[in-house]
């Protein structure tokens, strides 16, 4: 009897040690992600004086000095506005152009399908921001240079492969039979799509639209190359990195991070479904 419990103890204690180690590593990895973000929050919610002083306090003083300095800095608010406009346009264009292709890939077997998929995958394997250099020349010729629309076109190129592959995986998740049933009940291809498929797919489409928004919102290089007067927030911050005071950088960084946090939270359910099939 005692021998059995001793044996059980012997197997239980390494298991318990393993569980403690496991819990500790989960906790450490969470801290690794969250602590730097917390530091940024402290700096953002402190007065400019506190941001530049030493040593730093590890609790924010909840002073809006840095943020109001950011809001009053010349050109900052219009840069923020440009960022939102470009990201919004990118979101609309990449879904409007990408979703039909995703639908075609999931529903039809057509000649050249594999080639098309391969080309879409290939675009992901190219350093896309580099396209900004020749496009800068092309845009000057066509009058698109330094416009919100021109930059949105480049960002759409970045977001498009993702939009196609994600909508492809979303449409594949909806059984073809549903559509066929709608046809037998008198729907045309179009009405079957708008009445049956669209309501089912809408949350997923929203998620991939948000993903496109984040891609554009975060993009730095093309934005810095293609805009001069109408800077986006990332381009504006990058251009002023050498000259701007610390509290401006941190407040700017904070404004960049917040929408991203909210958006990733909004699409978290779809993140893995989106990548599951997009992989293949």
Residue from 1, 28, 137, 199 touching other proteins (CB under 8 A): that is 137
- Restricted to residues 192-211, the positions that interact with other proteins (CB under 8 A) are none
3-state secondary structure 153-207: HHHHHHHHHHHHHHHHHHHHCCCHHHHHHHHHCCCCHHHHHHHHHHHHHHHHHHH
Using CB under 8 A as the binding rule, whether residue 217 contacts other proteins is answered as: yes
Give the one residue of 86, 108, 179, 187 binding other proteins; rule: CB under 8 A.
108
Q: Is 17 in the site for other proteins (CB under 8 A)?
A: no
Per CB under 8 A, the segment of 29-37, 59-67, 70-78, 195-203 that binds other proteins is: 29-37
Distances from the Cα of 269 to the Cα of 171, 207, 226, 236, angstroms:
16, 9, 34, 33
Stretch that binds other proteins, among 4-12, 59-67, 72-80, 216-224 (CB under 8 A): 216-224
**Quick one: three-class SS letters along the chain?**
CHHHHHHHHHHHHHHHHHHHHHHHHHHHHHHHHHHHHHHHHHHHCCCHHHHHCCCCCCCCCCCCHHHHHHHHCCCHHHHHHHHHHHHHHHHHHHHHHHHHHHHHHHHCCCCCHHHHHHHHHHHHCCCHHHHHHHHHHHHHHHCCCCCHHHHHHHHHHHHHHHHHHHHHHHHHCCCHHHHHHHHHCCCCHHHHHHHHHHHHHHHHHHHHHHHHHHHHHHCCHHHHHHCCCCCCHHHHHHHCCCCCCHHHHHHHHHHHHHHHHHHHHHHHHHHHHHHHHHCC
Q: Which of residues 115-134 bind other proteins (CB under 8 A)?
A: 116, 119-120, 123-131, 133-134
Residue 26 found at the interface with other proteins (CB under 8 A): yes
Cβ 86 to other proteins, closest distance in Å?
Answer: 13
Q: Would you say 5 or 15 has its CB closer to other proteins?
A: 15
Residue 168 lies near other proteins (rule: CB under 8 A): no
Q: Provide, rounded to whole angstroms, the least separation between the CB of residue 108 and other proteins.
A: 4
Which CB sits closer to other proteins, 164 or 196? 164
Least distance between other proteins and beta carbon 19 (Å): 11
Q: Which of 91, 221, 227, 231 binds other proteins (CB under 8 A)?
A: 221
Residues 103, 229 contacting (CB under 8 angstroms): no
Task: Please report, as residue ranges, which positions from 233 to 272 form the binding site for other proteins (by CB under 8 A).
Answer: 234, 237-238, 241-242, 246, 249-250, 252-253, 256-257, 260-261, 263-265, 268, 271-272
Residue 82 touches other proteins, criterion: CB under 8 A: no
Give the x/- contact pattern for other proteins in 41-80, rule: CB under 8 A.
Answer: --x--------xxxxx-x----------------------
Of 12, 20, 34, 140, the one binding other proteins by CB under 8 A: 34
Q: Which stretch binds other proteins (CB under 8 A): 4-12, 61-69, 97-105, 191-199?
A: 97-105
């Amino acid at each position: 009897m005692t021998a059995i419990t001793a044996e059980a103890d012997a197997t239980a204690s390494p298991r318990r040690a393993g569980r403690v180690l496991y819990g500790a590593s989960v906790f450490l990895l969470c801290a690794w992600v969250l602590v730097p973000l917390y530091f940024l929050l402290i700096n953002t919610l402190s007065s400019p004086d506190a941001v530049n002083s030493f040593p730093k306090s590890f609790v924010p003083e909840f002073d809006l000095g840095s943020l109001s300095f950011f809001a009053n800095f010349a050109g900052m608010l219009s840069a923020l506005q440009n960022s939102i406009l470009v990201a919004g346009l990118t979101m609309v264009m990449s879904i409007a152009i990408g979703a039909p292709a995703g639908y075609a890939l999931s529903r039809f077997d057509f000649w050249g399908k594999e080639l098309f998929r391969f080309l879409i995958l290939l675009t992901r394997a190219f350093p896309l921001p580099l396209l900004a250099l020749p496009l800068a020349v092309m845009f000057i010729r066509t009058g698109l240079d330094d416009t919100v629309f021109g930059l949105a076109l480049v960002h759409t190129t970045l977001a498009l492969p993702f939009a196609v592959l994600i909508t492809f995986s979303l449409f594949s998740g909806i059984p073809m039979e549903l559509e066929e049933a709608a046809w037998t009940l008198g729907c045309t291809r179009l009405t079957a799509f708008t009445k049956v498929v669209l309501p089912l797919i809408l949350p997923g489409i929203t998620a991939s639209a948000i993903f496109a928004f984040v891609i554009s919102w975060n993009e730095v290089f093309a934005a810095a190359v293609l805009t001069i007067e109408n800077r986006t927030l990332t381009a504006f911050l990058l251009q002023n990195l050498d000259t701007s005071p610390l509290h401006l950088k941190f407040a700017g960084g904070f404004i960049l991070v917040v929408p991203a946090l909210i958006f990733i939270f909004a699409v978290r359910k779809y993140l893995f479904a989106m990548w599951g099939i997009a992989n293949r």
